[in-house]
A and B are shown apart, each in its own frame.
Chain A
């Protein structure tokens, strides 16, 4: 029985390892092109909603907070993730070390993108209790307390997945971890723009993901050493 289980694990892990290896192959890219562009919001931008800070006010209510789930700035969508979904070969994918800060009871950044296999360092400079509760399926879910004395926590996200992270102590705290399966991804900045560099020439599917607006894709053709401009229009 025990043997069977460990064998099954071995098979599963080998499978996993293989699938990761096969899914994307990293190397050096010569004469890569660039994809850049803007994600526009279709429709009238909603007025920013103020969040009701109803707990630990002395720490959390120092700065006013607005609902981060849909931020439109100048007609452009902030915090959307643009990525290539069907690239098999390209620049090297290395595990990163990224940081999710909870300063002032707010996750910064609200959307954190990185390649799968990376380590997320969660900071708690607030001096109060937080907890980091992941709602993941592909990766094993976690719910770790981060009391005052634990300034940092680290979690490794092994598999590609978009994971919602919440703090049960402070109901309004909400973040997204975007673990990408390749190194071609970018989060739109305050002007809704993004840039993916060193893309080998070819035709790819470019996808934009947003937590409340869902997904949208388009085909894009990259030529060597050229920059191709892409515009997404996303709406409800």
Chain B
């Protein structure tokens, strides 16, 4: 009878096949898991293995090549032979015997010394014990006598052993020296051989680095993750500092190694490695790669993941020039980064084309409105021209910075109507007291000719163009910073022009246009010339009525508000308008969800594509329901690229302080000062920071052009520069071109001085020349050097009232100015090598090669003496080359 619950058939059934299947599955799965874990998910292992092979092969080839060269080199062969002979001689024969006996003796001596040394050490320990017992006895009030005796005895023993120990040490050392002497030949030869073969043997180390050597066996190194951890570099969602892990160099193994410039990626050497990855720049073992290039540094599962080119990863890889975007997260001053030219260009365009008029960006808040003030526009501009201009400025001047808002005719009229209504009173009041002088005769040939000459000579062309295609300072590739005046007669009337050129700030107190200190006649001549450029437009007879139409005025007002004209222009009644565009401070970290593509399906869904199309065609994403008002700037593709690089760097996250580069007040001062400098367009005439001096193209003789100001901070004294900027005095009287009077405020002037000082890294802006320390010997020597017998300085240099011979353009600056103008240290540098300080200067090098009979023929002492003397000149020290010397 069957037992309850016991099923015999079940008992007899075999589950063997299920178990077999199960265990087979388990094995397979285990293997698969192992494989997946170790290979499929670790593609970097393959890369690393491949690199080790590449590295080893290259090193081996290099080694063999060097080896061949060495083997063919007789000097090397000779060394090898000599070394072999030397070694052989120490293996047998007389010297070998001598060496052996020396070595044996040395062993004995060493043993003897060690034994004695040990003994001395024991005695010292016993002494310690004795002193302990002694102290203990004193404290317990027992007799100390036995201990004193013991100590004395031990001291004596030690004293007795000391000379023996010394003798043993000496003997050992002597023997050592002697052995060294016998082996010296070998050592020397070996060292020499190492030096000769260094070029070859360094490859041995490279090979060793790529392999693991176990006795006779040699394997390629086992791939391992190579990661850089940047402590506290990032911030978590809870704003807590977290480390950034960067594993890029697990595959990109040669970024910081020379010799892989042509290797395929991921093994290529980083471009400009010597500079960019140098220890004082961005050593990759400290900074990793993602700091500049983004991507998903910690990901190692696939190349796409590691590069961050997958959905929802917000910072995809920045290849090539795009890495420049990252510079601003650590560097304050993008303009000085030699390796980020596109970023610098983008920043200049951004600051100068008016982006900040509509968009707020932290760090760019204080850039003033870039357009002219319209407070008195009715007194300045012909209304017909104004309407055309508002409608489409590019049609009148393709290179203007003013963008095209694509207004219709009636909209343009409405805007003009508002502008005229609010500027009329002020404009008329201004005009009322400013009439055109009676001497003005339109088209007068003499006057026009004189005006044309003035425009060409006093520096107007440092800023303005006067014909199609003529320009000075560009913004981006195809825009002008400053208006081209080729058709100014269409725009303005002679009466306004005359008063404007005489004193621009009288009409518009905030204008960057400086005064050229024109006389009335000069202003008149320039007015006459300007009136020949273009023809006054035929007025629309209805326009006046339209401008006065209240409906138009009202409509104009709302248009001006809507399109944000007050972002660039000072417009009465719009003082409280704020920027109409979105803030761009963190624009670079916008995700795709935050970018509005409208109905455009033809544009790739990336930040870069969105931005490129937006800049190219600002209203491209408009739909019938969503209006867009950003105007058309007509920028070139290159400019758009530069802007994109800047914009991509507008991010919330800045690197923590310890990773930042020039995060100091000085860098900030340079940035501020440069902005001011650009606003006043100093680079139109002067080359500063190796950029600009655009007016120089008009000069055949560079000596007649405005001087370059590279290194000006180091050259001139701060208080002189301050005074000169406030009120320029002629330093080079032979120049026709005039340094204008800008009417800088004290604050602005200080900013400019700090800028020049910051650029030249002048730490101590005010230095005092201690003239009482100047030895008389120096002054006497310098007087001789100054004279006609030697350098004849006054052959070209002016000295106060004493003028050089010959035409003015051959003259050089007044040396009496040096005392207050030049930095004493700079004078030394200048005298040593003027061409190095200012390439192309007329000032020839007098050194090396000063006369032998002055100050011992020492160039440096002569240069110092000349400096001392020059610093005294302005004080009225006896003039060198004074008549007495000159007539000799």
Contacts and interface: CB of A to CB of B under 8 A. Distances in A.
Interface in B767-808: 788-792, 795-796, 804-807
What is the predominant secondary structure among interface residues of chain B facing chain A?
Answer: loop
A169 B843 contact: no
Given A133-B842, A149-B790, A168-B796, 11 more contacts: A1-B274, A54-B806, A55-B810, A141-B839, A143-B841, A147-B791, A148-B789, A148-B792, A169-B795, A169-B796, A171-B809
Interface string B834-867: 1100011111111001010000000000000000
Contacts of B789: 148-149
Contacts of B790: 147-149
Contacts of B810: 55, 168-169, 171
A145 to B, nearest CB: 4
A170 B806 CA distance: 8
Interface centre among A54, A56, A143, A144 (most CB of B within 10 A): A143
- Main secondary structure, interface of A, reads loop
A141 B804 CA distance: 26
A53 B846 CA distance: 25
Contacts of B840: 141
B844 A131 contact: yes
Interface of A: 1, 3-4, 54-56, 128-129, 131-133, 141-150, 168-171
Interface string B688-722: 00000000000000010000000000000000000
Contacts of B274: 1, 3-4
A1 B806 CA distance: 49
A132 B703 CA distance: 16
Contacts of B835: 141-143
Interface in B272-309: 274-275, 278
A3 B840 CA distance: 29
A168 B846 CA distance: 14
A208 B843 CA distance: 34
A5 to B, nearest CB: 8
B788 A143 contact: no
A1 B844 contact: no
Contacts of A56: 795, 805
B302 to A, nearest CB: 35
Contact of B792 (A1, A128, A144): A128
Contacts of A4: 274
Give the one of A1, A3, A141, A145 with max B CB within 10 A: A145
Contact of B846 (A54, A132, A145, A170): A145
Nearest to B785: A147
Interface string B646-659: 00000000000000
A45 to B, nearest CB: 26
Nearest to A143: B844
Contacts of A141: 835, 839-840
Contacts of B275: 1
Contacts of B849: 150
A171 B845 contact: no
B487 to A, nearest CB: 36
24 contacts: A1-B274, A1-B275, A4-B274, A55-B805, A55-B806, A55-B810, A56-B795, A128-B795, A129-B788, A141-B839, A142-B835, A142-B845, A143-B841, A143-B842, A144-B845, A145-B844, A147-B851, A148-B789, A149-B790, A149-B851, A168-B796, A168-B810, A169-B796, A171-B809
A148 to B, nearest CB: 6
Contacts of A54: 805-807
A132 B845 CA distance: 10
Contacts of A55: 795, 804-806, 810
Contacts of B839: 141
Nearest to B702: A135
Contacts of A170: 806
Contacts of A133: 842, 844
A23 B841 CA distance: 33
Contacts of A171: 806-807, 809-810
Contacts of A3: 274
B84 to A, nearest CB: 34
A143 B810 CA distance: 15
A135 B634 CA distance: 41
Contacts of B806: 54-55, 170-171
Contacts of A145: 791, 844-846
Contact of B844 (A128, A144, A149): A144
A147 B852 CA distance: 13
A12 to B, nearest CB: 16
Nearest to B258: A4
Contacts of B834: 143
Q: Which 7 A-B pairs have the closest CB atoms?
A: A55-B806, A131-B844, A145-B844, A4-B274, A129-B792, A168-B842, A55-B805
A175 to B, nearest CB: 16
Interface string B243-279: 0000000000000000000000000000000110010
Contacts of B788: 128-129, 148
B95 to A, nearest CB: 42
Contacts of B703: 168
Nearest to B851: A149
A1 B834 CA distance: 27
A174 to B, nearest CB: 13
Given A1-B274, A145-B845, A129 B809 contact: no
A168 B805 contact: no
A1 B851 CA distance: 38
Contacts of B851: 147, 149
A148 B784 CA distance: 13
Contacts of B278: 1
A133 B792 CA distance: 17
Nearest to B842: A168
Nearest to A131: B844
Contacts of B807: 54, 171
A171 B791 CA distance: 18
Nearest to B835: A143
A133 B807 CA distance: 18
A3 B259 CA distance: 14
A2 to B, nearest CB: 9
Chain B CB within 10 A, most for which of A4, A148, A169: A169
Contacts of B804: 55
Contacts of A132: 844
Contacts of A169: 795-796, 810
Contacts of A129: 788, 791-792, 795
A54 B792 CA distance: 17
A61 B840 CA distance: 28
A54 B795 CA distance: 12
A95 B485 CA distance: 56
B751 to A, nearest CB: 34
A102 B843 CA distance: 19
Given A55-B806, A129-B791, A169-B796, A147 B845 contact: no
A131 B843 CA distance: 9
Interface string B148-162: 000000000000000
B792 A147 contact: yes
A85 B288 CA distance: 54
A143 B843 contact: yes
A168 B809 contact: no
A142 B843 CA distance: 11
Contact of A168 (B791, B792, B844): B844
B658 to A, nearest CB: 24
A171 B810 CA distance: 7
B888 to A, nearest CB: 12
A183 B200 CA distance: 43
B828 to A, nearest CB: 17
A64 B392 CA distance: 63
Contacts of B842: 133, 143, 168
A235 B464 CA distance: 38
A146 B810 CA distance: 17
Contacts of A168: 703, 796, 810, 842, 844
A56 B792 CA distance: 12
